[in-house]
Structure 1
Amino acid sequence: MKVSGIHLAGIAACLPELYTTERAVAEGKYDEQDREDAGIESVTFAGETTGPDLAVAAAKTAVARSGHRPEDFGALLHSSVHFQGPDGWSAQHYVLRHTIDRPVTAVEVRQGCLGMLSALELAACRLMAAPEQPAVLLTSGDNFSTPLVDRWRASKLFLLGDAGAAAVVSRRPGFARVLAVGSVSTPSMEELHRGGEPMFPPGPTVGRTLNLEDRREFWRQEWARGVPPPMGNFGDTVAAAAHRTLAEAGLTMADITRVAHIGFSQLPLHASFLDPLDIDAKRGIWEFTRTTGHLGSADPVAGLEHLWKTGQVSAGDHVMVIGASPGMEAGCAIVEITGSRYAEGEGDHA
């Protein structure tokens, strides 16, 4: 979707302390061979800080950087991957209360790791359709330190890191302009992430933990029995989303300075993102994601903020922000950097 007059006025990530994979191996939580294969040096670890509180911390900084006042906001869109708090409770309204605290709609975007990019698309639509309130606040927050997921062994594709992230999407100029945003899905691949797990009762209600490796093993065994797995290719879906969004922005891959991708481990990152986009790790943000792990839906904003804060992109540069989620769906945004490099402490929330 090509957009007009939509900007990122402020972004921020809340990244807690690092927990090294070397330490995890020494403590028996992670296998050394898996560590070598993944290439991940550390993950962010929040201890007992809740996902919504990580989102609140990031949101306060993003709003401060944006220059917007609370009354400018018409909505809050909150994304998460893991459990947020008490069952039947509204994390998004908690985040709303502790940030802009306005009587506006607060919506949870349940789109897995693609949550913030999907929320960006929804925010752009809202701002173009209803310009009387010039800003929408996007937030995300997850803490994977619960008994229902083993961050070290849930998947060979990634290691889970805790984080909060926020973005102020605005009709006023900020540090970047959104040129296009959209997504492509391959619903025939839905069953890959379900495997042989029963749909009812839902796994968490009977104490079943998240283990994507078990579901992959289910399909390996089915294939060995002569039952073909659902058809589709992860990388093809990513490439389709990227090239369609580039075309809508009027650009080609040659115009893209850097790519902010999600935090997959080394081999899956190449197979699913870098190779389909025909770029190397240096044009991506591997040097960053190998230190944080996979931050759920916070990945795209955390990666873009990293490029901006470290001065790796400057005014006039184009950045591709890309991610994916089970479904299977891939999303992409093309942004043009329009502001000067962020200065440490400038607009930060104490």
Structure 2
Amino acid sequence: MPGDDGAGIYLSAPCAVVGESFQSPAEAAATGRLDADVARRCGYLRVATTVHAPVELAVRAAARTLGSAGAAGVDLTRLLHAWTYHQGHEFWSPAHYIAYHVGADRAVPLGLQQMCNGGAAAVELAARELRADPEQACTLVTTADRFCDPGFDRWGDQGLAYGDGATAVLVGRAPQGRSVRLLASASAAAPSYEGLHGGTGPFTATPQSALRPVTVRSTKKQYMERHPGADLLAVAGESMARLSATALDRAGVAPRDPRLVLVAPPRFAGPALESYRPVLEKATGAPLAQFGADTGHLGAGDAIANLAELLASDRISTGQVAVLVSAGGGLSWTVLVVERVT
């Protein structure tokens, strides 16, 4: 998406709602879910867990965003909901559930499932639609995920731990509450890596998570055994760095611009985060911030959760710029360049 042409797009009142309970790596190791050495090195302090359906958390996040923005569900013309894993029912639209429960009766709810890049991709999609269609009013973007037993092993990935939570942000033509202006965005994908999360097993006719948990480490291992020359870290690092540079150029912000104060990557920790630090800091000239050590990776919600924390903690001041980096299976990446306005 090119830089602002005078028709500003704003991300307002971002909110994150995480699970009400937490589990530490040490606790996971004590129950045999995680190797003790991995627990010491993983970089996460704890991950959030919940007993609630993801969409219930999404409704809470949406209500908080609308309240903070001084808006109501009836003001929305679109509601985009992104997720990664099971939302509570098998044959059903979670986006419509959220719209109904926040009173968005005029909105068209749409579901977006682009793995963990879904939240940032939904923001970019909402911004593009607002620029293209003057009849569209504001769009609410929500995300929600719950990575629980018996279907999902939240500790079963390589360098990532998965936390439960939901996010929301209002995308519109005017700031409402704490807001940033979306200066530019850029996205890319590498479909040849789709097998990292699909594995090499046969296609199934019905969901299998009730029979065996999703363990991302296993599918990644299967992919690497079949593609021994693949270098995931190099591909992901290069893609995120290239997109960061592209988005900054579209925004008219040079690397090392004094307004550019930080880069917010996905909610990785430990070695997974450190592997991307050099390339992102070189591409932007800005320091890499860490978010999520006390929540875990929030599936599709990392970028919006990071924006919410940025504004709530005042780590970015009015007129300053930040780069939000998002990544997801498939593979795909989205970079958002934002400037704080209120």
CA–CA distance in structure 2, aligned partners of residues 275 and 135 of structure 1? 37
The alpha-carbon distance between structure 1 residues 19 and 192, as it changes in their structure 2 partners (threshold 3 A), is closer
Do 1:184 and 1:331's aligned partners in 2 also have CA atoms closer than 8 Å?
yes
1:50 aligned onto 2:53: yes
Conserved in 1, the CA contact under 8 Å of 2:280 and 2:288?
no
Corresponding residue SS for 2:308: helix
Task: Please identify, of 292-301 and 249-258, the stretch whose mean Cα deviation from structure 2 is larger.
Answer: 249-258
Cα deviation 1:229-266 (Å, max 9, x = unaligned):
48871111111221111111111332321222211231
Residues 55-90 of structure 1: per-residue CA shift (max 9 Å, x gap) = 111111111111223332110000111100121111
Q: How does 1:12-91 map to 2 (within 5 A)?
A: 12-16=15-19, 17-46=21-50, 48-91=51-94
> 2:312 aligned with 1:309, yes or no?
yes
**What is the CA distance between 1:205 and its match in structure 2?**
6.9
Within the alignment, does 1:162 sit opposite 2:149 as a pair? no
The reply on whether 1:237 has 2:236 as its aligned counterpart is no
Structure 2 residue aligned with 1:107: 110
Distance in 2 (alpha carbons) for counterparts of 1:118 and 1:237: 15
Instruction: Show CA shifts across 1:276-314 (max 9, x none).
Output: 21269x93332x311111000111111111111112111
140, 149, 162: which one pairs with 1:146? 149
1:106–1:216 Cα change, 3 Å = same
State the one-letter code of the partner of 1:134.
A
The residue that corresponds to 1:348 in the other structure is none
Change (3 A) 1:86 1:195: closer
Using the TM superposition, give the Cα deviation of residue 209 of structure 1 relative to its aligned residue in structure 2, in angstroms.
2.6
Choose from 288, 295, 299 the match for 1:296. 299
Q: Is 1:216 aligned to 2:242, yes or no?
A: no
Deviations 1:138-191 (A, max 9, x none): 001111113111111x20220000001000001112421000122011223223
Give unpaired runs (5+ residues) of structure 2: none
Please state whether the residue corresponding to 1:254 is helix, strand or coil: coil
User: Which consecutive unaligned segments of at least 5 residues does structure 1 have?
Assistant: 340-350
How far apart are residue 112 of structure 1 and its match? 0.7
1:197 aligns with 2:201: yes
Q: Shift in Å at residue 196 of structure 1? A: 1.7
1:253 aligns to what SS in structure 2? coil
- Rounded to whole Å, the distance in 2 between the matches of 1:99 and 1:274 is 39
TM-score of the two chains, using structure 2 as the length reference: 0.90
Q: Is 1:263 aligned with 2:263?
A: no
248-257 vs 303-312, which moves further: 248-257
Amino acid in structure 2 at the alignment position of 1:90: S
Please tell me whether the aligned partners of residues 115 and 330 of structure 2 are also in contact (alpha carbons under 8 angstroms). no
The answer to whether the 8 Å contact 1:264/1:294 transfers is yes
| Secondary structure at the counterpart of residue 213 of structure 2 | coil
Q: CA deviation at 1:208?
A: 4.0
Amino acid at match of 2:58: A
Instruction: Check the 8 A contact 1:43/1:161 in 2, yes or no.
Output: yes
Q: How far has the Cα of 1:203 moved from its partner?
A: 5.8
Contact 2:144 2:167 in 1 (8 A): yes
1:193-212 deviations in whole A, cap 9, x for unaligned? 33322234466278343222
Structure 1 pair 253/198, CA: closer, same or farther in 2 (3 Å)?
farther
Aligned to 2:252: 250
For 1:344, the equivalent position in structure 2 comes to none
TM, length-normalised to structure 1: 0.88
**Contact 1:185/1:327 (8 A) holds in 2:** yes
CA contact (8 A) 1:191 1:230 kept: no
Aligned 8 A contact 2:9 2:171 in 1: yes
CA contact (8 A) 1:186 1:329 kept: yes
| Structure 1 pair 189–117 and aligned structure 2 pair: CA distance change class (3 A) | same
Assess, with a 3 A threshold, how the Cα gap between structure 1 residues 270 and 19 changes in structure 2: closer, same or farther.
same
2:65, 2:168 within 8 Å by CA — same for their partners in 1?
Answer: yes
Q: Secondary structure at the match of 1:236?
A: helix
Question: Residues of 2 paired with 1:220 and 1:177: CA distance?
Answer: 40
Cα deviation 1:298-350 (Å, max 9, x = unaligned): 111111111111121110110111111112111110000011xxxxxxxxxxx
Q: Which residue, out of 326, 329, 338, partners 1:326?
A: 329
CA RMSD of aligned residues (A): 2.2
Relative to structure 1, the CA distance from residue 168 to residue 15 in structure 2 (aligned partners, 3 Å threshold; closer, same or farther) is same
Aligned counterparts of 1:91 and 1:193: Cα–Cα separation in 2: 23
C-alpha separation in 2, matches of 1:206 and 1:291: 28
- SS in structure 1 of the partner of residue 199 of structure 2: coil
Give the distance between the partners of 2:295 and 2:38, measured in 1 at CA: 16
Q: Hey, what does 1:276 align to over in structure 2? A: 279
Structure 2: how far apart are the matches of 1:284 and 1:333? 15
Once residues 234 and 220 of structure 1 are traced to their aligned partners in structure 2, the CA distance between those partners, rounded to angstroms, is 15
